[in-house]
């Protein structure tokens, strides 16, 4: 697959950052069929890791029922200007990607 970076936008308000991410990914469930009637294999993000300045504060386990090109919004508590927020993912086929945002 063509692995794409995680796109991130964020706003720091006081000591809390509001982050929005978009993770381009097919998120195939494995039950869809192509035009020839063949099953398209399951291909979806399984784990997401969110870090602030290299320290994990949140992770997620996902199933294939998270929508295609997943959107993820979350908040970072105790954030400060200059903090690096990183979001990375690994899918069920071993692909991975990440993105980062400097507050």
Partner 1 sequence: MQVSFTRRRFTQVLLAAAAMAAAPLAALAGNRDAFKAEETDAALKALFGDKPVTAVDDLEFKVPDIAEDGSIVPVTISTDREGVKSISLLVDANPNPLSARFHFMPGAATEFKTRIKMGESSDVRAVVETEDAIYVATRNVKVTLGGCGG
CA angle 59, 50, 46 (to 5 degrees): 45
List residues near partner 1 by CB under 8 A. Answer: 16, 27, 29, 31-32, 46-47, 56-68, 70-78
Judged by CB, which is closer to partner 1: 70, or 97? 70
Inter-residue long-range contacts of 28-36, CB under 8 Å, 24+ positions, other chains counted:
28/64, 29/64, 29/65, 30/64
The total number of residues shown for the chain amounts to 103
Chain centroid to CA 42? 17
Return d(Cα 8, Cα 89) in angstroms, integer.
13
Closer to partner 1 at the Cβ: 8 or 76? Answer: 76
CB of 21 to partner 1, least distance (A): 10
Smallest gap, in angstroms, from Cβ of residue 1 to partner 1? 18
Q: How far is the CB of 18 from partner 1 (least distance, A)?
A: 10
Q: Which is nearer to partner 1, 31 or 94 (CB)?
A: 31
Between residues 62 and 97, which has the closer beta carbon with respect to partner 1? 62
């Amino acid at each position: 697959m063509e692995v794409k970076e995680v796109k991130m936008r964020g706003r720091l308000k006081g000591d809390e950052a509001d982050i929005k991410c978009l993770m381009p990914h097919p998120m195939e469930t494995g039950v869809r069929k192509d035009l020839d009637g063949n099953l398209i294999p399951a291909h979806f993000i399984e784990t997401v890791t969110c870090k602030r300045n290299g320290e994990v504060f949140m992770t997620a386990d996902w199933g294939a029922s998270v929508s295609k090109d997943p959107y993820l919004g979350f908040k970072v508590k105790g954030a400060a200007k200059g903090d690096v927020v990183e979001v990375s993912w690994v899918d069920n086929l071993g692909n991975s990607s990440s993105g980062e945002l400097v507050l």
